[in-house]
Amino acid sequence: MTQPAASTADTVTVRVPAKVNVQLSVGGVRPDGFHGLANVFLAVGLYDSVSATRADAPLLTVSGPDAALVPQDRTNLAARAAALLAARHGLAADVHLHIAKDIPVAGGMAGGSADAAAALLACDRLWGLDSPREELLELCAELGSDVPFSFAGGAALGEGRGELLTPLEVGGTFHWVFAVADGGLSTPAVYRECDRLREATGTGSSAADVPEPAASQELLAALRTGDAAALAAALRNDLQPAALSLRPSLAETLETGLAAGALAALVSGSGPTCAFLVADPDSATRIAHALTASGTCRGARATAGPAPGASLV
């Protein structure tokens, strides 16, 4: 086997965006424990950066205001991404990964998945592998359901457990405010609560009980035409009742953003970050201030999407 030519750079840095799910339709539990999804992802302009530097042994460090909330050992999805890529190529994962964290931690914005996608691309280039995109996307899917989208960015429909991506056309820029909550929510716990609520209301939670989820044509058309009002009307998150059940105070955050003039409000993914679709950058600034002043969240961030996926900087 010919050895790949190692990159001459000592450090490779990759920037990677957060996501919001503009449609998250959750089907029943599959035999493998995952839920079938129709998951319309939009990447938004909040970014983590991951730097990969040659080292004598694996090392992971994190900076940023919430660094203390991020696991800094081998369980971190970025470290697992480096280990997976190294194992696939018979290399040692001797790399120092540094995550500069700006995406809310355990917030329903795929921050951990973003770091994994970024680590994969950074290590691939540092080690001179230059793997084809399709090969990296397959590794992303092994790491987690949201990791392929974090790698790809833009907008996409995720089917299966969310990893089978179809890129979507977006005909404009959508403006958003994200209200960051105190503390995170565990994604498995939110899916379990979704199942519990379905059982409690007599719907059932298995794949036989819940209709096969499908992308909304109205929502896809709204993305295609860049129509914020139409997108606002079509936003949907089946995990929202479960997130609200586990964190009832989020209802107040959602109401505060709507009262301040947001076009629509929803929980981002499994939460607890709340997402507000707004008309323009000025209203984004105003609504972010109103949310912060209300004390119903830890802070609010104004941004826009779609944003590009994992990119070398």
The residues that are catalytic are 19, 146
Amino acid, res. 136: L
List phi, psi (to 5°) of 11.
Answer: -135, 135
Give the C-alpha separation, 104 to 111, whole Å.
Answer: 7
Structure token pair of residue 9? 């750079």
Closer to ligand C5P by CB, 161 or 175: give it: 161
Closer to ligand C5P by CB, 178 or 191: give it: 191
Longest dimension (CA), the chain: 63
Structure token pair of residue 292? 């912060």
Closer to ligand C5P by CB, 79 or 290: give it: 79
> Residue 108 CB, nearest distance to ligand C5P (Å)?
11
Q: Distance from CA of residue 274 to its chain's centroid? A: 13
Q: Has 1 been labeled as part of a binding site?
A: no
Give the C-alpha separation, 192 to 242, whole Å.
Answer: 8
Binding site for ligand C5P (CB under 6 A): 34-35, 37, 144-146, 161-162, 187-188, 191
User: Rounded to 10 degrees, what is the CA torsion of 65, 68, 71, 76?
Assistant: 20
Q: Has 110 been labeled as part of a binding site?
A: yes
Q: Has 147 been labeled as part of a binding site?
A: no
> Residue 43 CB, nearest distance to ligand C5P (Å)?
16
Closer to ligand C5P by CB, 149 or 174: give it: 149
Distances (CA, A) of 100 to 50, 64, 211, 279, 298: 6, 6, 41, 30, 20
Structure token pair of residue 113? 């998945």
Contacting residues for 165 by C-beta, under 8 A, at least 6 apart:
137, 148, 149, 152, 156, 157, 158
> Residue 223 CB, nearest distance to ligand C5P (Å)?
21
> Binding site: which residues?
104-114
> Binding site for ATP: which residues?
104-114
